[in-house]
């Protein structure tokens, strides 16, 4: 975890602002911009964000 | 379940001004409201893999599209529209809000009526009354449906 940490990272709140777009892009196979890359980084570091993301992704996938 | 549904809707509405249009409205609602997400999971479980497309009754509900980058437009104008929308929704009855949430969730009316313990046709009347109330409120404050970005309001104003 220490090795993955960056000087500037999204916190949980910032991650939440973008995680919906991140999930949609991931499911659609779209490229990620800088903000969305930061979301992905956050998800590797934060179990709570990751748990929420996985639940969101499941719902979106089930809706497809 | 009815209380749970209403709690979820109220939580979404309470955060409505944070919706920036970066994703679909429903995606945003799922991401920002744990209660709503849990509600979705619960209803999916209850439905047992229900396929809403093959069982849909009544008119087609529109999935709000992602807002184009420039659709957020003037923040002040957007804030005014959201405030008006929130006031309008706030004037709905609890049951009307619950039914609107079901519609937002794209649930068929049969399932909405079961979840809310209503007779089969009750949601039709409720959602119609809710739409009429929303439309009248919009007209009263000088807003037409065309003024509001579809991603913000389509789920509430489907004709």
The pLDDT, as a whole number, for residue A11 is: 82
The pLDDT, as a whole number, for residue B48 is: 45
CA distance B61 to B117: 22
Q: What is the pTM of this model?
A: 0.44
CA distance B153 to B141: 16
The count of CB pairs under 8 A between chains A and B is 43
Segments in chain B below pLDDT 70: 1-8, 33-75, 77-78, 81, 103, 105-106, 121, 138, 141-159
For A9-64, write each residue's pLDDT tens digit. 788 888 888 999 999 999 999 999 988 999 998 888 787 788 888 888 888 887 77
Does B23 lie at the interface with A, CB-CB under 8 angstroms? Answer: yes
Query: Domain coordinates of chain A in residue numbers?
Result: 12-63
Q: Which residue of B has its CA nearest to A15?
A: B31
C-beta atoms of B30 and A21 within 8 A:
no
Widest Cα–Cα separation across chain A: 37
Q: Which of B151, B135, B131 is nearest to B143 (CA)?
A: B135
Q: Which of B76, B85, B9 is nearest to B40 (CA)?
A: B9
Query: Domain coordinates of chain B in residue numbers?
Result: 2-157
The pLDDT, as a whole number, for residue B107 is: 74
């Amino acid at each position: 975890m220490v090795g993955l940490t960056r000087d500037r990272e999204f916190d949980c709140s910032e991650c939440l602002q973008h995680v919906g777009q991140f999930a949609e892009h991931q499911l659609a196979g779209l490229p990620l911009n800088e903000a969305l890359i930061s979301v992905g980084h956050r998800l590797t570091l934060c179990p709570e964000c990751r748990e929420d993301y996985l639940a969101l992704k499941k719902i979106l996938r089930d809706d497809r | 379940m009815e209380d749970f549904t209403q709690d979820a809707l109220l939580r979404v509405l309470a955060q409505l001004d944070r919706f920036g249009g970066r994703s679909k409205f429903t995606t945003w609602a799922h991401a920002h409201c744990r209660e709503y997400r849990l509600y979705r999971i619960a209803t999916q479980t209850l439905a047992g893999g229900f396929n809403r497309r093959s069982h849909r009754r009544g008119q087609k509900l529109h999935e709000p599209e992602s807002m184009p980058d420039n659709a957020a437009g003037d923040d002040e104008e957007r804030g005014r529209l959201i405030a008006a929308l929130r006031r309008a929704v706030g004037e709905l009855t609890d049951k009307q809000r619950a039914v609107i949430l079901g519609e937002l969730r794209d649930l068929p009316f049969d399932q909405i009526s079961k979840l809310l313990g209503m007779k089969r046709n009750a949601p039709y009347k409720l959602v119609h009354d809710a739409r009429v109330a929303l439309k009248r409120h919009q007209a009263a404050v000088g807003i037409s449906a065309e003024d509001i970005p579809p991603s913000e309001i389509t789920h509430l104003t489907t004709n």
